Amino acid sequence: MAPKLPRLEPDTAFFWTSGADGRLRIQHCADCGQWQHPPLPRCASCGSETVSPEPVSGRGRIASYTVNREAWLPDMAVPFVFAAVELAEQAGLYVFTNLKAPIEEARRGLPVTVAFEQQDDVWLPMFRPEAS
């Protein structure tokens, strides 16, 4: 269980509901081709407003990770892996997530793929090691 779910806000709701059809979506600029996350009302690279959510592969690599051992809430299950995943589509395109694997499998560079977990109206993009 997520300790708290994200509020679905106008610019970000697509990200949290994207998993409804099993696909991860990231904001993409139709003019310059840049992906950006977190999303913004315009492209931070070229200024274009023709930005829209587009499906991505859902694949990436762990850029960094940490094994959290502190139960910040009484019902929080620990340990768990909190990680930044660099998506395959673009260098420096990061999403935060939990690695759904035994903690000892976490390592920098680990290939991972998205695996959604639904809670209420939110599909949290979790990641698991890519099948070898």
One symbol per residue from 24 to 53: x for binding other proteins (CB under 8 A), - otherwise; what is it?
-------------xx---------------
Tell whether residue 75 is a contact of other proteins (CB under 8 A).
no
Binding-site size, other proteins (CB under 8 A) = 33
Tell whether residue 69 is a contact of other proteins (CB under 8 A).
yes
Contact residues for 31 (Cβ-Cβ < 8 A; gap 6+): 43, 46, 48, 50
Determine how β-strand 35-36 pairs with β-strand 111-119.
Answer: unpaired
User: Alpha-carbon torsion 72, 73, 79, 82, what sign?
Assistant: negative
Q: How far is the CB of 104 from other proteins (least distance, A)?
A: 11
Q: Minimal CA–CA distance to 85: which of 60, 51, 57, 115?
A: 60
Distance CA 126, CA 97 (A): 5
Selected binder of other proteins within 24, 56, 63, 110 (CB under 8 A): 63
Selected binder of other proteins within 52, 57, 66, 118 (CB under 8 A): 66
Selected binder of other proteins within 98, 110, 112, 114 (CB under 8 A): 98
Which tokens sit at 56?
């991505």
Selected binder of other proteins within 45, 48, 50, 64 (CB under 8 A): 64
Q: How far is the CB of 59 from other proteins (least distance, A)?
A: 18
Selected binder of other proteins within 55, 76, 118, 130 (CB under 8 A): 76
DSSP label of 121: T
Tell whether residue 80 is a contact of other proteins (CB under 8 A).
yes
Distance CA 2, CA 11 (A): 21
